[in-house]
Structure 1
């Protein structure tokens, strides 16, 4: 009977997240991940063919985990205004619960070598991007946002401003204060308040 693997892909990706949160994407190497978990380098290469695949997987897993809750907040948040507030709060709540992953998302896919990703990884990334755009478009319709300025307003309200709160505290090495959800929701409410009733 074969022995179960001592180090699975999730453990290795968790280690990559820790390394990135501490020192950025450049710190995520095959040998560094192996050292982080106390595994031989072969264990990492057995699960990821190279550093490009490792970087793609750690980025995509983190984004997909964030997006799962984000889509749920938007889709179950009630009317458009409630959904926008729920989405803004989710950015903060998820980031507080997952500070290392949130620190990783302060970078971009390009910092994780997107230009060299495999076709399969690019397809996953593109599908996620398409779903975000579709979600924003659906929310814009629900809010009666017709023009580019109104659509930018929604993006600012539920993505850009909440992320700026996260960025400021995480880059300072601070835990997100308990009032941050309320601030994000207040900003979203103020921004979407200028839109016509949906």
Structure 2
């Protein structure tokens, strides 16, 4: 029988499961190596620190979430982008809980390694670019008020609509979608 293989993905999945069970603070090098039955050296061979692992986990979750959001906006379907949060929460309840109930600062404290900073900055810049594109399309301009409306209708409202359900570990009900749609139409469809 060969030696077990401790890979990058296995450590990330162990951290994800630990965070789901007890939050990001519960994820330590000891808890990860106990969960994976890996020696600490195997962990440190792949990750410089706990923060690097948790930063990568957070970034992976954000990028996975944003795929559907960006795809909807690429199709020119702002309403589908606004509905992405409740739909994704239904399909990925535990990941939605981690991503939407905690901030990135709950995952990593202090300085982020350069490659993670770059990934986070690229993700944030891409999100901002899509907000600007949506604001131009929906409101005809890209000034601060239009970008604020875009942020509110595409990100803040949908996340607020699912937050209470995620806190209770329940699937967001269909009325959440109705509320998001009503808010979207009230903001986007009215003359500006």
Q: Shorter-chain TM-score category?
A: 0.7 to 0.9
Please give the TM-score of this superposition, normalised by the length of structure 2.
0.88
1:109 to 104, 107, 113: 104
Equivalence for 2:81: 87
Post-superposition offset of 1:7: 3.1
Please report the RMSD computed on the Cα atoms of aligned residues, expressed in angstroms: 2.0
Equivalence for 1:59: 58
DSSP 3-state at the match of 2:102 = coil
> CA 1:11–1:181 in 2, change beyond 3 Å: closer, same or farther?
farther
> CA 1:97–1:43 in 2, change beyond 3 Å: closer, same or farther?
farther
Equivalence for 1:44: 43
- In the alignment, is the contact (CA less than 8 A) between 1:55 and 1:112 conserved in 2? yes
Matched, 1:126 2:125: no
Structure 1, unmatched stretches of 5+, are: none
Equivalence for 1:100: 94
CA distance in 2, matches of 1:114, 1:192: 37
CA distance in 1, matches of 2:49, 2:142: 45
Report which stretch shifted further, 9-18 or 177-186: 177-186
Matched, 1:164 2:163: no
CA distance in 1, matches of 2:162, 2:38: 33
1:24-35 pair list within 5 angstroms: 24-35=23-34
Corresponding residue pairs, total? 189
DSSP 3-state at the match of 1:14 = helix
Structure 2, unmatched stretches of 5+, are: none
